[in-house]
Chain A
Amino acid sequence: EAGVTQFPSHSVIEKGQTVTLRCDPISGHDNLYWYRRVMGKEIKFLLHFVKESKQDESGMPNNRFLAERTGGTYSTLKVQPAELEDSGVYFCASSQDRLGRRNFNEQFFGPGTRLTVL
């Protein structure tokens, strides 16, 4: 079974440009999460989708960040315009439906996208 995949693995852009990160969750996982780790700091929650709906977006830093999950499958996270402080590693994770007790509350993470804003 394929794990969570993220694209691209690395992205280097200049301040003011736009970048779109993509996450493909494990097939059948309704829950999809975005997290971010700024260099040397903790991994911070950004938002949580249940299928195509935003369940919790309390961690989104500002309105330059836009996340979508059309059709409840893959998700994109767009940063527009990018600022220097947006640099970091963006992780995506997925987990089963709330009633999926076999993997209860276990989030499976992708390899992350390393974003560098110059």
Chain B
Amino acid sequence: AQKVTQAQTEISVVEKEDVTLDCVYETRDTTYYLFWYKQPPSGELVFLIRRNSFDEQNEISGRYSWNFQKSTSSFNFTITASQVVDSAVYFCALSEGDILTGGGNKLTFGTGTQLKVEL
């Protein structure tokens, strides 16, 4: 069975601080995908990143970076120099799948972390 744990329910930071959102996952599959989604106050889920289980390279996109460590089953998300616009609920998710046959598999989500960035 798959499981995603986001232990941090809510985090509050002051603008320009760095913040890391934790994500720990469980799966029996050797092939899987990890995702982060952002849910701003408007409600929709915005895709941020996808990683597959064979690629442990960390990724950086602007102020966002992701640290994937299979040894600890973690896929943590760091926002550098946070801004008020980063305030949202962030969800980590897992999908088991086959790289060769493509996607189409359900996502298992964590409970989300509410990030509040204040001036």
- Decide: A106 and B106 in contact? CB cutoff 8 A: no
Do A42 and B97 touch across chains, with their CB atoms under 8 A apart? no
> In the complex, what distance in Å separates the CA atom of A50 from the CA atom of B101?
14
Partner of A98, one of B33, B47, B50, B101: B101
Asked whether B101 lies within 8 Å of A43 as measured between CB atoms, the reply is: no
Asked if B47 and A99 sit within 8 Å, CB to CB, the answer is no
A40 to B91, CA, bound (A): 12
Chain A residues, Cβ within 8 Å of B103:
31, 95-96, 98, 104-106
Contacts of B101 in A (CB 8 A): 98
Q: B43 contacts A55, CB within 8 Å? A: no
Residues of A close to B109: CB separation below 8 A: 35, 42-44
Any chain A CB within 8 A of the CB of B76? no
Candidates A93, A98, A114; contact of B102 at CB < 8 Å: A98
Is A45 touching B108 in the complex (CB atoms < 8 A)? yes
Given the known A-B contacts A31-B104, A33-B106, are A105 and B47 also in contact in the complex, defined by CB atoms under 8 Å? no
Report the minimal beta-carbon distance from B115 to chain A, rounded to whole angstroms: 16
Whole-angstrom CA separation of A95 from B47 in the bound complex: 12
Return chain B residues, CB-CB under 8 Å to A100: 102
Asked if A111 CB lies within 8 Å of chain B CBs, one says yes
Confirm or deny: B37 has a beta carbon within 8 angstroms of a beta carbon on chain A: yes
Residue among A42, A48, A59, A91 making CB contact with B4, cutoff 8 Å:
A42
**Bound-complex Cα distance A93 to B95 (A):** 14
Nearest CB of chain A from residue B26's CB, rounded to whole Å = 13
The docked-state distance in angstroms from the alpha carbon of A16 to that of B103 is 37
Contact of A91 among B33, B45, B106, B108 (CB under 8 A): B45
Point out residues on A near B: beta carbons under 8 Å. 3, 31, 33, 35, 40-45, 48, 50, 55-56, 59, 89, 91, 93, 95-101, 104-112, 114
Partner-A contacts on B (CB < 8 A): 4, 33, 37, 42-47, 50, 91, 93, 95, 97, 101-112
Can you give 20 contacting A-B residue pairs, CB < 8 Å? A3-B44, A35-B109, A40-B111, A41-B111, A42-B109, A42-B111, A43-B45, A43-B107, A45-B108, A48-B104, A56-B106, A91-B45, A93-B45, A98-B102, A105-B33, A105-B102, A105-B103, A109-B37, A109-B47, A112-B43
